[in-house]
Structure 1
Amino acid sequence: MKLAGAGVVLATSQPLLRAQVASLDVIVIGAGLAGLHAARLLEAFGLKVRVLEASKRIGGRIFTLDDVAGKPEAGGNQIGAAYARTVDVTTQLGLKLEPSGRSPLLRDDRLVIHVDGERYDLAEWGNSAANPFAEAFRNLPPDRVLSRVVGPSPLESAAAFRDPKHAKWDVPALNVLREKGFSPAALQLMAVTNGLGDTLAETSLLNLFYAQSNIAEIIKIKGPTQNIVGGNQRLPEAMARSLKGDVLLQRRVVAVDADTRGAVVRTDDGVAHRARFVVCALPLPTMRMIAFTPALPKAHADAVAVAAYGKVTQIHLEVTRPFWGDDGLAPYLWSNGPLERVFPQDSRGDGNPPSVIVWINGAECASWDRLDDAAFGARAIAELEKVYPASKGALRMAKRISWHHNALAGGAWINWAPTQITRFAHAISQPAGRVHFAGEHTGHTLRGMEAAMESGERAATEILARA
């Protein structure tokens, strides 16, 4: 692989496709897991490949925070035993996997529940007059109530979420919960840390079922949850290094022009890259910045225009001294206040996390987004001191991550809004002429990292069948 930054200019070209001869077999747009896996597979069969990446780094939403104590993951947190492709490529590239440490702080009996300014442990919450849930759900941590309420997934498998026969469930989860008789107070608490929609009205019941089926598929495969030694970002970095062709960073694609003979991919530095085929492995919101000629098929274009992606704000705080322990609780929090959730970043599993992460989903992100970095960190620490008074002076701001404000991501993951699975899930993985598509949003089975790998494999296979 030749890794190049923005200063390297490879070629110029005339704009007319008919005057251009393809010098490459495939151009891959996006150096995340999906694009890199497709590139590796295509090269393995002798095709000439170039990867174009708009950002300064490899990995997309796989992002190890190497400059934060403990090197927490900002995306692509863990590798499950069911992630067969991910584990296989990791092993092929000589990277080492280690079991993810299970922190003694991440136990239900150490969870802090903070509702309307009052602090509870789980037993206290179960008996509290502030708890709005029926008896069957009162003793659950609030973030588990939603999945328990909707019940076990009726899908035959994770892959079945795309089957048109399940369109009847592609409706707002809020409607179903209201029909079940939940009070406004209960609905508000269920919505707080729902990661599959900004609000319950914007959350598809079918997507909730898909998420449940995904978990069910994962736990069928016995084995530890793992991480890559040194950070999960080492995987896409190693994948990029293993390529023979160029991986060009800071090359934002602005146009893709294709006809029956090939394609020209134009980048913002004025260079036109020619190839017989294209793999577009970008999140849907990022594709809004690209002019496709001919235009994408209507359903795919509509998905690019309106598909919902998860709003996630992370606040990484380094721990300068332990501030928990006297009351037996932990820096493990669920709240309906501005912090929403706090997790100890205890990858060693020894109960001494070097950092904690504040994790905020959906609508609450708006209250943080308007703050500058200094105010952001000050607010996070002040809010934690309200819940954990002993934390005063024990935390310092390390990193702010807002995936939905990253123009090259558009959000943390696809959040299928009601009707969108039925309308778009099939269309977005279909080739458009010589342009093929990959990315976790186009996955047919599992979610997350493995969906990205599966989609890259599918796109490469499609091209190999035509090359």
Structure 2
Amino acid sequence: MKRRIFIQKSGAAGLALSVMPIACTEPAPKLDAEVLILGGGLSGLYLAYLLDKAGKDYLVLEGSNRIGGRMFSREDIGREVGGRGIGDKYTEVMKLVKEFNTEMIDITDYMRSPTAIYVEGKLHAKWPDPATNPAYLQFTAFGKSPQLTALNQWYQKPELDEKYSELLKRNGLTEAQIDLANISANYNDIRETSAINAYHSSAFRKFNGSERVLNFKGGSKHFIKAIADSLKNPVLTNKMVNTIEDNENGVVVSCIDGSKYRAKKVVSTMPFTTLRDVKMNTSFNSNQKKAIQKLDYTDITQIHLQHTEPFWEQDEMPVDIWTDTPLERIMNMSSSPTEKELACWVNGIGTAFFDKMSEKEVAEYTIKKINEIRPSSVGKIEYLGQQNWGKYPFNKGAYVEFGVGQAAWFEDMIKPAGNMHFAGEHAARESRGMEAAAESANRVFKELIS
């Protein structure tokens, strides 16, 4: 419609409304679903599964070109690069495993294989003193602190909310040892992150009750596909959200491809690192605003390799190596006791070293450094690819990490706001990892049907 005609008609309509009865007002726009679920990872898929079972209408929008979120089987390099390990007492996840008869592999007996130590230019097949082993300094020191007595205490104990490095220092670590502990700690920086994260992780390991650790046979892709295939409605991919409008008729979600979707409710399973890029008019409480804008996620870069010969048989050293080099930890990531899948696992501030490199430079540096650390590997390892979770645009991090003072936001940040609800690994009261994603989805499902 031409602009002049549109203005004329709009003006006429405005005049007409002043004399028209209220019953003739324009009806609310047609809804595409009762519930829009933003994110096709485990949390979003599980929520869709629960809504399916309850006969509720929903639509899942996934920003990337695939489903699974941080459960990611990289077909191009033939490796799992995301979440894979689950405990046998993961209540919510194991329900799905049994529902879809998913084949699992028990890796408990060989997941904690020996680790060589490379420090100050020297490779040790075995560290002589367990109390000073640089790979376990964090755990040795943290174990001296009183632990939580319940799974949900982590956000209810402000007296424990301090820099993790301060706790470790109080428990005997020197500044130099704290630098070494930072390599093993799965956080961005133990000099900045809250000790609350360590307390929560420890409580989950203790109180979840799992005795066995399981991996998905053939990769997590089979599990994710089974959930998606069971849904009545397809998951729409390549639907990166850029606007959420919340009004009296419900919500309107707009995507960067120009598409729009309307529903009564919207559930965001998006990490706050990506949700903060979305334009929203929702009335969030003050702690939600702070969490959405400031909550951090751990950067992890994995550098995946393959071997052409079992070089560890030549030098008779353990396959796994903890190092004080930029490669940090070199680990066997295979789910099989007879196979080896090597990857360098770099955490937090250490990822910045590789972020400034091209992929070719990452490959060259990695091979050269491993050859230097372990001469038996020369000519026997090849670069496959890297997974940089900090730079992955649909997550911008591997998992949530609370800074000092941020755990106090938790109860407020997961409350419904307007027509929006929050699920995802970051929104679980008790669990961590994949079980956290599923736990939060179950909580939101109850909110929606209550």
Q: After TM superposition, is the score higher than 0.5?
A: yes
- TM-superposed CA distance for 1:313, in Å, is 0.5
Of 180, 201, 210, 2:191 maps to: 201
Residue ranges of structure 2 left out of the alignment (5+ in a row): 1-25
Measured against aligned partners, the alpha-carbon deviations of 1:328-361 in whole angstroms (never above 9, x if no partner) come to 31220111111110111332202x41x3010001
Query: Are 2:143 and 1:143 aligned?
Result: no
Which whole-Å CA distance do the structure 1 matches of 2:348 and 2:27 have between them? 47
Deviation at 1:178, TM superposition (A): 3.1
Q: Specify the SS of the correspondent of 2:34.
A: strand
Which residue pairs with 1:237 in the alignment? Answer: 225
2:155 is matched with 162
* 1:187-232 per-position Cα deviation (integer Å, ceiling 9, x unaligned): 2111222112x222212112111111111124x233x322222211
* 1:391-445 CA distance string (max 9 Å, x none): 11111111210100011111010111111112x2212211112111100000111
1:417 — aligned with what?
A: 403
1:122 to 118, 122, 126: 126
Q: Is the 8 A contact 1:316 1:399 kept in 2?
A: yes
Letter in 2 for 1:107: S
- What residue identity is the alignment partner of 2:116? V
**What does residue 310 of structure 1 align with?**
298
1:375-454 correspondence runs (5 A): 375-422=361-408, 424-454=409-439
SS in 1 for 2:181: helix
Distance 2:333 2:182 in 1: 24
Amino acid at match of 1:242: S
Alignment partner of 2:219: what SS?
coil
State yes or no: 1:334 paired with 2:322: yes
The 1:202–1:259 alpha-carbon spacing in structure 2 relative to 1, beyond 3 Å, is same
Give the Cα separation in 2 of the matches to 1:328 and 1:394.
Answer: 15
C-alpha distance in 1, partners of 2:45/2:333?
A: 28
Contact 1:24 1:49 (8 Å CA) reproduced = yes
Give the 3-state SS of the residue equivalent to 2:226 in structure 1: helix
Q: Is the CA contact (8 Å cut-off) linking 2:105 and 2:335 kept in structure 1?
A: no
In the alignment, does 2:34 pair up with 1:25? Answer: yes
- Could you give the per-residue CA deviations for residues 120-149 of structure 1, whole angstroms, max 9, x where no partner exists? 13244x3xxxxxxxxx822xx423221221
Unaligned runs of 5+ in 1: 1-16, 127-135
Partner amino acid, structure 1, of 2:57: K
Structure 1 residues 80, 389: closer, same or farther in 2, change over 3 A?
same
Does residue 92 of structure 1 match 2:99?
A: yes
Structure 2 CA distance, aligned partners of 1:233 and 1:83? 19
CA distance in 2, matches of 1:346, 1:47: 40
Distance 1:18 1:171 in 2: 53
> What's the TM-score once normalised by structure 2's chain length?
0.90
Label 1:179 to 1:90 Cα distance change in 2 as closer, same or farther (>3 A).
closer
> 2 CA distance for matches of 1:305 and 1:270?
25
| 1:174-196 CA distance string (max 9 Å, x none) | 22333345322212111222112
1:339–1:271 distance in 2 versus 1, CA, 3 Å:
same
Look up the match of 1:182. Answer: 173
Distance 1:234 1:416 in 2: 32
Q: Aligned AA for 1:137?
A: A
Higher mean C-alpha deviation, range 183-192 or range 412-421:
183-192
Give the Cα separation in 1 of the matches to 2:109 and 2:171: 36
Answering whether residue 83 of structure 2 is matched by residue 76 of structure 1, we say yes
Which of 353, 360, 364 aligns to 1:374? It is 360
In the alignment, which residue of structure 2 is the partner of 1:272?
260
TM-superposed deviation, 1:153:
4.8
SS of the aligned residue for 2:137 comes to helix
The secondary structure found in structure 1 opposite 2:313 is coil
Greater Cα offset, 171-180 or 238-247: 171-180
Following the alignment from structure 2 to structure 1, what is the Cα–Cα distance between the partners of residues 441 and 186?
A: 25
> AA paired with 1:155?
L
Q: CA-atom RMSD, angstroms?
A: 1.9
Separation in 2 of the partners of 1:238 and 1:66? 17
Query: Is 2:444 the partner of 1:459?
Result: yes
Task: Specify the SS of the correspondent of 1:294.
Answer: coil
After TM superposition, give the deviation of residue 98 of structure 1 in Å.
2.5
- Residue 117 of structure 2 is matched in structure 1 by 113
- Contact map agreement 1:203 1:418 (CA 8 A) in 2: yes
Counterpart amino acid of 1:337? T
CA contact (8 A) 2:65 2:237 kept: yes
Aligned to 2:246: 258
Matched to 1:42, the amino acid is L
Q: Counterparts of 1:181 and 1:253 in 2: how far apart (Å)?
A: 47
CA distance, structure 1, for counterparts of residue 258 and residue 76 of structure 2: 34
TM-score (norm 1): 0.87
Give how far 1:21 is off: 3.0
Cα deviation, residue 364, structure 1? 1.1
Quick one: which amino acid aligns to residue 97 of structure 2?
Answer: T
Q: Tell me if the contact between 1:172 and 1:203 (Cα under 8 Å) persists in the aligned partners.
A: yes
Percentage identity across paired residues of the two chains: 27
- Cα offset, 1:269, TM superposition: 1.6
Please name the residue that 1:133 is paired with.
Answer: none
Does the CA contact (< 8 Å) of 1:170 and 1:207 recur in 2?
no
**Greater relative contact order (CA < 8 Å, ≥ 6 in sequence):** 1
Q: Would you say the 8 A contact 1:324–1:330 is kept in 2?
A: yes
